[in-house]
Amino acid sequence: MQIPLRITFRGIPHSDAVEAKIREKARKLDKFHSHIMSCRVAVEAEHRRPPR
């Protein structure tokens, strides 16, 4: 990728293990198609409704 991978954690603490897995998957994307310009990943907490 020409632009570095951007990983954002929202509403949950940062996890090195999750980030490593995302980077591994992004490397596979880069091998699949060399013309991918960039990749942005947002890891967010699941939206939950309060119990009634």
Residue 50 belongs to some domain of the structure = no
Residue 51 belongs to some domain of the structure = no
Residue 16 belongs to some domain of the structure = yes
d(Cα 18, Cα 12) in Å, to the nearest integer? 11
- Average pLDDT of span 4-11: 94
Residue 52 belongs to some domain of the structure = no
Residue 10 belongs to some domain of the structure = yes
Per the structure, how many domains does the chain have? 1
Residue 1 belongs to some domain of the structure = no
Is residue 23 within 8 Å of 43, Cβ to Cβ? Answer: no
Question: 16 falls in which pLDDT band (50, 70, 90)?
Answer: very high
Owning domain of residue 26: 6-44
d(Cα 39, Cα 15) in Å, to the nearest integer? 19
Question: Strand 6-10 to strand 40-44: parallel, antiparallel, or no bridges (unpaired)?
Answer: parallel
Residue 40 belongs to some domain of the structure = yes
Write down the pTM of the prediction: 0.77
